[in-house]
Amino acid sequence: MSYMQRYKNWILSDHFDEETKKELQEIQEDEKEIEDRFYKDLEFGTGGMRGKIGAGTNRMNKYMVHKATQGLANYIVNYIDQGKKKGVALGFDSRHCSPEFAMEAALVLAGNGIKTYLFEELCPVPMLSFAVRELGAATGIVITASHNPPEYNGYKVYGEDGGQIVPEKAHKVMAEIEEVDDFSLIDRLEPEEAEKEGLLNYVGEEIRSRYREEVKNVIPDKDMAADKGKDFDILFTPLHGTGYKPVMNVLEELGFNVEVVADQAEPDPDFSTVESPNPENISAFELALKEAEDKKPAIIIGTDPDCDRLGVMVRNRVGEYEALSGNEAGVLMLDYLLSRQEVPDKGVMIKTIVTTELAREIARAHGVETIDVLTGFKYIGEKIKEFEETGDREFIFGFEESYGYLAGTYARDKDAVLAAALFSVMALYYNQQGSSVLERLTELREQYGYYSEALESIYMEGREGQQKIQTFLNRMREEEPREIAGWQVIRFSDYKKGETIDYSSDSREQIDLPESDVLQYYLAEDSIITIRPSGTEPKLKIYFSVRESSAQASAEKMQEFKDSVLSMIKGILSEV
């Protein structure tokens, strides 16, 4: 069926409401917009779907939520033993339509006879991950688009273990969704009927309280925090998202004196005070930095809308605030955990393939194994489940460069509530030693080397952009270059083929990881490039890593490295 036929069907069908039809009628003269909205269904990837809110098959709306949920319901019935009885936990963030989409998902599940547990109020992603296991649910759903712009929303699916569904299961869910081709045949109950039949249940403070206790159980030096935390000032911004209550509650229960950026405390689906609600960007801390001029907190912390990412800024010796990267915060928390608690004999640290190699060096120094996984915290969660089943390893800490961290096994996704608490206690600990996290970071670099990492993205909008990205990746994959922008390739890993080529020995070996559209080049002089398409946005992502003996040398090398590689990539993209 053509995009224009789909468009006309939505306008003419009795199944779609008048508000939807009106929105579509307003674009009847804009064929390019019609094409973009209807040339495909909004893709349900390995963790769910994400897109702009609006009418159409390639948009986030209640009808596409109905379709995805009907497919998920079919998966639960067909593949999960006692799935209907175990039910589904549902949470949502502060975005436009998030509560409505969560309720619609619950009502479709109820229409299929599946019990649901719907959070009564905003729910951080890690809290939903915890709730799935705590409630013994078959799956979980979170309505969120993380830190995407305000016009976006999304739908993330979790497995019985509380982790985002991994590709094997996701493909089965996708297959079930693709079978749903008639919106009018989707089963759905009204709220009153769903509640009456015991299929719509609400999650309240009990689960939230249990979650907070599990978070605190992971933290070292709690006695110190209880005694000294009140004199250690913290400024916190939830960036209008779900983090306000859980982060404030946990930090205050630990004993800290926490101030919140008032103008960013309340939920706001437009994220009206920031250009982007992403704590990876320093611009998100603009209001916090203004307040810090008077309050002078020791640290500033910020969480993204679904509270699974944490950004931090630290006051240095001269009173200025320095932002830490996800890699820097991660290695500091790893080092602190390994130094301040007993390390299990089978202890393991997990990182993604694009996360700093400095973490491996720190773990090795403590006798801890490092395991690399593909980009995406679901793969860290999958390993935690594997360790619990086999008993041959014990998870200590996992993190990714994109500001996601987890310690402990109470949840199976990155947790900014935990990270906020862990970083705060760590910062207090070094403060009590007459030092700081910044000074500790310098010590680690002097000991293991000055690693620098960077991420650059090239946006390629629309169908044509996606085709260009794929053509570029295919070309690089086929050519297997021995040189990248003048840098000699020592080793090349193609995670789609599942193969690594070692050019120094002219040998090939299999990669024991799931298939993924990722190319990684290990170059001369301890440099690495990793290239992959974004799974959630129309862009090509390029990760850079270098290592040198000093901060200046590392920064200079990184700049030269990025400039030359980006010039090469953009040149190829202009040709394809």
No. of helices (H) and no. of strands (E), the chain: 20, 23
In 3-state terms the chain splits into helix, strand, coil percentages (rounded to 5) of 45, 20, 35
pLDDT at position 167: 85
pLDDT confidence band for 106 (50 / 70 / 90): very high
Helix (H, G, I), strand (E, B) or coil at 76: helix
pLDDT confidence band for 225 (50 / 70 / 90): very high
**pLDDT at residue 496 is higher than 80:** yes
pLDDT at position 354: 96
Point out the catalytic residue in the list 129, 146, 527, 545: 146
**pLDDT at residue 342 is higher than 80:** yes
Closest CA to 531 of 541, 545, 546, 516: 541
**pLDDT at residue 220 is higher than 90:** yes
In this structure, what are the phi and psi dihedrals at residue 338, rounded to the nearest 5 degrees?
-70, -25
Using alpha carbons only, how large is the chain's radius of gyration in Å? 24
State how far the Cα of 245 lies from the Cα of 229, in Å rounded to an integer.
19
Contact 370, 364 (CB under 8 A): yes
- Percent residues over pLDDT 70 in the chain: 100
**Phi/psi class of residue 386: alpha, beta or left (left: φ > 0; alpha: ψ in -120 to 50)?**
alpha
Q: What is the mean pLDDT of the chain?
A: 96
pLDDT at position 302: 98
| Mean pLDDT (whole number) for 300-327 | 97
| Mean pLDDT (whole number) for 462-481 | 91
pLDDT at position 46: 72
In sequence order, the 6+-apart residues with CB closer than 8 A to the CB of 123 are: 91, 92, 93, 131, 142, 203, 242
Helix (H, G, I), strand (E, B) or coil at 495: coil
pLDDT confidence band for 538 (50 / 70 / 90): confident
Digit-coded pLDDT (tens) for 408-433 = 999 999 999 999 999 999 999 999 99
| Mean pLDDT (whole number) for 316-321 | 96
Digit-coded pLDDT (tens) for 192-203 = 999 999 999 999
In sequence order, the 6+-apart residues with CB closer than 8 A to the CB of 560 are: none
pLDDT at position 434: 96
Enumerate domains of the chain plus CATH numbers.
Answer: 1-37 (no CATH), 40-203 (3.40.120.10), 228-448 (3.40.120.10), 450-575 (3.30.310.50)
Q: Which residue has the higher pLDDT, 514 or 73?
A: 73
pLDDT at position 462: 80
pLDDT confidence band for 258 (50 / 70 / 90): very high
pLDDT at position 149: 92
State how far the Cα of 157 lies from the Cα of 239, in Å rounded to an integer.
24
Q: Tokens standing for 246?
A: 């859980």
**pLDDT at residue 535 is higher than 80:** no
| Mean pLDDT (whole number) for 305-309 | 97
Alpha helices (H) in 453-546, listed in sequence order? 462-479
Half-sphere exposure of 498 (CA within 13 A, CB side): 5
**pLDDT at residue 166 is higher than 90:** no
In sequence order, the 6+-apart residues with CB closer than 8 A to the CB of 219 are: 225, 254, 421, 422, 425
pLDDT confidence band for 45 (50 / 70 / 90): confident
- Tell me if residue 146 is catalytic: yes
State how far the Cα of 377 lies from the Cα of 463, in Å rounded to an integer.
27
CA-CA-CA-CA dihedral for 54, 59, 61, 66, to nearest 10: 160
**pLDDT at residue 537 is higher than 80:** no
Contact 232, 298 (CB under 8 A): yes
Whole-number Cα distances in Å, 52 to 36, 49, 144, 150, 167: 11, 10, 12, 9, 24
State how far the Cα of 289 lies from the Cα of 48, in Å rounded to an integer.
35
pLDDT at position 215: 98
State how far the Cα of 543 lies from the Cα of 528, in Å rounded to an integer.
8
Q: Tokens standing for 170?
A: 């996701």
pLDDT at position 306: 97
**pLDDT at residue 154 is higher than 80:** yes
Digit-coded pLDDT (tens) for 108-151 = 999 999 999 999 999 999 999 999 999 999 999 999 999 889 99
Contact 315, 297 (CB under 8 A): yes
**Residue 366: in which H helix or E strand, if any?**
none
Contact 180, 188 (CB under 8 A): no
